[in-house]
Structure 1
Amino acid sequence: MTRIFVAGATGAVGRLLVPLLVEAGHQVTAATRTAEGVERLRAQGAEGVRLDVFDRAAVADALAAAAPEAVVHQLTALSGGNPVDNARIRREGTRNLVDAAKKAGVRRIVAQSISWAYEAGDVPADEATALDTGAPEPRATSVGGVVALEEAVAEIDEHVVLRYGTFYGPGTWYAPGGFIAGKLADGALPANSGVSSFVHVDDAARAAVLALGWPSGPVNIVDDEPAPARAWVPVLAAALDRPAPEPSEGGAGWERGAANGKAAGLGWQPRHRTWRTGFSDQG
């Protein structure tokens, strides 16, 4: 049994991750922003803690009280769809969490990052590909947040950065009634040549559990089929019963997708191997 502190425990990944950790026999302290979230976490078998990650003192107190051996960082600000808010939580929230973890003697951290912060290229990026640190705004804000997160996390002796693909499944933008369904209805989602890599949130949560035993470094957590929007948008539209836009040209150079060979070598395989079947299985 390992004592684990989960930050962002009621998000799209966290809500699936906590039960997996409890089932595996770990002692889990799980943090959320709301009283309702605390009750949900307790019902899942975790010790629920209400926490504002921007409150440095409160984060330090929470980590000291939990005395975890490992921290799993699943903090995001995705619900509002504002990249500035998400960059802030990656910079400031991560900084507070890492500083508190170091003070509490934590030696291992697993953290959520993204797989579309790589520099431009013609093939799916692997973990040796450089991040797109020269990107102009507004992308620079998002990439800068990722760089800050990954650099902070690397201050912990044992650190695994999960560079997740675009999430789909329950509680995500791509689920029925989500943000992307609205964009499809409004005709605002282009079916162009920009390439994306996806991952179902169930597979994302399983990767976080496995990563507690992985060597330090970044790992792409994506499905087996990077694809241009002109291929995946019509499939998503059919799954959501929305009209599909006409195929178009265009797409940024950084829209290249990501390769999952390293994760496969570490023992992770997505149960939802491709968005082609996964989009219709979003719960």
Structure 2
Amino acid sequence: MKIAVAGASGVIGRLLIPMLVQAGHEVTGIIRNPEHADKIKEAGASFVQADVYDRETLIRVLAEASPEVVIHQLTSLQARNFADNARIRKEGTRNLVDASLAAGVHRMIAQSISWTYSPREGPAAEDCPLDLEAPAPRRATVLGVHALEVAAAEMPEHVILRYGLLYGGGTWYAPDGLIAEQVRRGEIAAADGVSSFVYTEDAAAAAVSALDWPSGAYNIVDNEPAAGTEWLPFYADCLGAPKPRIETGSARGERGARNEKALRHGWKPKFTSWREGFRHTLGGNV
């Protein structure tokens, strides 16, 4: 199958491309920075250079690549600029969908997130509504996610992967990541809000599995939604960091997510719990 990956040099994209190649697919990585080209070629894929905000170039390169599937893994998170990430979800997705439709692409698999559901009791399933009435600043994130998912749904076939909080190499939760540094400095309190996590390799593997999934949204999270009072002390122990202070309360929508739908369709995560995943990625002995 001919597949184009937008965001090919990102945390998920760079894991996803070799998985797709190993599965026998003909893969083209779409990158903005040519410095990433060698890594893509080493993985056995080709590349094209395009800025997702440059509609005309994007339309041209997708027409030339003529993929059957486009996998959308575009984010702008490394600098913790949430406005940029909301923009890429809105404008970037709009351009990518338009270019895909113009090129005759039949299926799109798009990266979304699993913590924008409306606040209710218990972990959210995919049929729970998004929190479109959220106040600022959460509202900007929710509206960006909504715009991404609505645009992707214009494709004849579309799979929305609502990822949990990503941990692993290159993420904020890696040993050299932003969250790890904040935890070492004692800047994050363990509170009652519930989160769902997913290991980066498991997130990439879900995108490969999704090549055959029916259209719709899928939560890509592990089996164990957990309150901050549970996961954060464990994470700190794995880092060798001080035990975090405990606070009561939670932020809006911190309820975690359920993964039964993805599991039913054949997704088999390597780490079914953040406990084993944190041990693996952080080298902890707890």
Task: Pick the TM interval, shorter chain.
Answer: over 0.9
Shift, 1:83, TM fit: 1.1
Q: Distance in 1 between matches of 2:243 and 2:156?
A: 47
Partner of 1:254: 253
Shift, 1:235, TM fit: 1.1
Shift, 1:244, TM fit: 2.1
Partner AA of 2:215 in structure 1: S
Partner of 1:121: 120
Shift, 1:36, TM fit: 1.5
Structure 2 counterpart SS, 1:80: coil
Identity of aligned residues (%): 53
Partner of 2:210: 211
Q: Which moved more, 1:27-36 or 1:146-155?
A: 27-36
Shift, 1:240, TM fit: 1.6
Partner of 2:32: 33
Q: Provide the alpha-carbon RMSD of the alignment.
A: 0.9
Q: Distance in 1 between matches of 2:130 and 2:186?
A: 31
Partner AA of 1:144 in structure 2: L
Partner of 1:46: 45
Partner of 1:184: 183
Q: Contact between 2:223 and 2:273, CA under 8 Å: does it hold in 1?
A: yes
Between Structure 1 and Structure 2, how many residues are aligned?
282
Unaligned runs of 5+ in 1: none
Q: Distance in 2 between matches of 1:143 and 1:111?
A: 16
Partner of 1:274: 273
Shift, 1:53, TM fit: 0.6
Unaligned runs of 5+ in 2: none
Partner of 1:231: 230
Partner of 1:62: 61
Partner AA of 1:145 in structure 2: G
Q: Contact between 1:17 and 1:208, CA under 8 Å: does it hold in 2?
A: yes
Structure 1 counterpart SS, 2:217: strand
Q: Distance in 1 between matches of 2:241 and 2:46?
A: 41
Partner AA of 1:101 in structure 2: S
Partner of 1:150: 149
Give CA-to-partner distance per residue, 1:221-267, whole Å, 9 cap, x none: 00000000110001111122211212221112400000001011101
Q: Contact between 2:184 and 2:236, CA under 8 Å: does it hold in 1?
A: no
TM (normalized to structure 1)? 0.98
Q: Contact between 1:54 and 1:96, CA under 8 Å: does it hold in 2?
A: yes
Give CA-to-partner distance per residue, 1:103-143, whole Å, 9 cap, x none: 00001000000000100011000001000000011001100
Structure 1 consecutive aligned stretches of length 4 or more whose deviation exceeds 3 Å:
none
Partner of 1:86: 85
Q: Distance in 2 between matches of 1:53 and 1:235?
A: 39
Q: Contact between 1:225 and 1:275, CA under 8 Å: does it hold in 2?
A: yes
Shift, 1:34, TM fit: 1.3
Give CA-to-partner distance per residue, 1:55-74, whole Å, 9 cap, x none: 11111111011000000000
1:103 aligns with 2:102: yes
